[in-house]
Amino acid sequence: MVSLNGHPTWVRRPKGHGPLVTLLHGGMSDSSSMLRRFEKRLSKDFRLAAFDRRGHGRTPDRPGAFHYNEMAEETIAFLEYLDEPSHLIGHSDGGVVALLIAMRRPDLIRRVVLVGANYHHDGLVETPEFPLEGPEFERWAREYGEISPDGVGHAREVVSKALTLFASEPTLTTSDLAKVSAPVLVMSGDDDVVSLAHTCAMYEGLVDGQLAVLPGSSHAVLKEHPGWSCRIIRHFLRAKLPVATLMPIRRAANPVKGAERSNL
């Protein structure tokens, strides 16, 4: 545990060799879900760091609603704790947080991967709401209580706060996306909880974006296709930028400013 903004927080410190990559987990999840997908597949080339956000995984909650701005602030505190620029890989809520950091603190990051992320809450497709009663909730609550310092009795409050967050945030615009200067890979399943139109609008709103929509996959694309996903992500993180294609169209109309960036 370390203290981030005065709150005890579970962290996974980086080890090994290579550029730093920080994994940002999704909502109602924790870092173990990301580490399971990436540790064996990326640790040869990168040093992986992660932490459990407030009220998730092994980090205790505190009074008050969940807000992406506060999640971004605690993530900034973690990146400052690491004390070097990092690539970010964010899934779902973690992707929203990564996007906010790319807008606010470009000095802390190198490249960004957004998986199943949205820049506005209206980009989510209508799905059945996660239940607060019944077998599905009880199963999730047991898993939550096994590692949370707050115990199984706090599970219902966490779900309620998460559902309120999903319905009301984020509220970014495509003009906000244009402020992101870092290279960004937008990744999605072709049957994601974020609509394809919204995912494409996010990609097209970025100055230096790339897009990967994986067929036959959902919001759980990292779990469904971990090897495939990691190969795409590794290629993006290691490739020479800006991209040079044989038939540029969008990139020809909106070229990335600045000198060519070599491998980071």
Domain total for the chain? 1
- Flag whether pLDDT at 187 surpasses 60: yes
- Flag whether pLDDT at 194 surpasses 70: yes
- Whole-angstrom Cα distance, residue 230 to residue 38? 7
- Print the domain residue range for 151: 2-253
| pTM for the full predicted model | 0.96
**Reported confidence tier of residue 262, pLDDT bands at 50, 70, 90:** very low
Distances (CA, A) of 55 to 62, 64, 127, 139: 7, 10, 24, 18
Q: What is the mean pLDDT of the chain?
A: 95
CATH code of residue 85? 3.40.50.1820
- Flag whether pLDDT at 260 surpasses 60: no
pLDDT per residue as tens digits for the range 113-122: 999 999 999 9
Tell me whether residue 262 is in a domain: no
- Whole-angstrom Cα distance, residue 112 to residue 209? 10
- Flag whether pLDDT at 258 surpasses 80: no
Predicted local confidence at residue 257, as pLDDT: 63
Are the C-beta atoms of residues 117 and 92 closer than 8 Å to each other? yes
